[in-house]
Amino acid sequence: MPIAEVQGPYGPLRLLETQVQRCWAVQQLGRGVWRLRDGRTLRVRHPGSWNAGAGPDFRDAVLEIGGCPVPGDVELHLYREDWWRHGHHMDPAYNRVVAHVVLFAGGMGNAVRTEEGRQVPEWVMGPWLREDLETVSGGEPGLFGERTPELSEWIAAETLEAVRERLAAGCDRRWGNKEAMAHGLVREFGFAGALHRMTLYYLGFPLNRKAFLAIAGENGPDQWRRGGLLPLIRQRWGKAIQWRQGRPGNRPARLLEAYQELFRRRPDWMERLGEPPQPLRTTLAAAEGDVLRSDSGAFRRRFAHAGLFRWLRTEVTAQALGDGLLRRLWIDAFLPLLAAHGLLPTGASALHFFHSRPGACPEALFALCRRAGLCGEGNGPSRNGWIQGLLWVEDQMRSERLRRCSGRGTGGGA
User: Of 115, 131, 147, which closes a domain?
Assistant: 147
Taking residue 71's Cβ as centre, other Cβ atoms within 10 Å add up to 13
141 shares a domain with 59: yes
The mean per-residue pLDDT over the stretch 198-206 comes to 88
User: Of 147, 171, 200, which closes a domain?
Assistant: 147
143 shares a domain with 154: no
Whether 67 has a pLDDT exceeding 80, the answer reads yes
167 shares a domain with 141: no
44 shares a domain with 17: yes
pTM to 2 decimal places: 0.65
Q: How many domains does the chain have?
A: 2
pLDDT, tens digit, 9 for 90 and up, residues 99-155: 998 877 666 678 899 999 999 999 887 666 544 444 443 333 444 434 456 788 888
The mean per-residue pLDDT over the stretch 174-202 comes to 90
Counting DSSP H helices and E strands in the chain, the numbers are 18, 9
168 shares a domain with 80: no
171 shares a domain with 111: no
Range of the domain at 379: 150-397
Whether 238 has a pLDDT exceeding 80, the answer reads yes
What is the pLDDT, as a whole number, of residue 240? 82
| Number of alpha carbons in the 13 Å side-chain half-sphere of residue 362 | 14
pLDDT, tens digit, 9 for 90 and up, residues 270-311: 999 999 999 999 999 999 988 888 889 899 999 999 999 999
The mean per-residue pLDDT over the stretch 351-372 comes to 82
Q: Mark 293-316 as b/e (b = at least 16 C-beta within 10 Å).
A: ebebeebbebbbbeebbebbbeeb
Task: Look at the alpha carbons of 236, 240, 242, 244 in this order and tell me if their dihedral is positive or negative.
Answer: positive
Label residue 241 by pLDDT band (50, 70, 90): confident
128 shares a domain with 194: no
Residue 328 lies in a domain: yes
283 shares a domain with 240: yes
Residue 195 lies in a domain: yes
257 shares a domain with 128: no
The mean per-residue pLDDT over the stretch 218-240 comes to 90
Residue 402 lies in a domain: no
124 shares a domain with 161: no
Residue 112 lies in a domain: yes
What is the pLDDT, as a whole number, of residue 404? 56
162 shares a domain with 119: no
214 shares a domain with 107: no
Residue 179 lies in a domain: yes
Residue 410 lies in a domain: no
Q: Does residue 221 contact residue 236 with C-beta atoms inside 8 Å?
A: no
Residue 413 lies in a domain: no
What is the pLDDT, as a whole number, of residue 11? 40
- C-alpha 399/C-alpha 402 separation (Å) is 5
User: Of 98, 117, 147, which closes a domain?
Assistant: 147
Residue 411 lies in a domain: no
pLDDT, tens digit, 9 for 90 and up, residues 71-110: 999 998 877 888 998 899 999 999 999 999 887 766 667 8
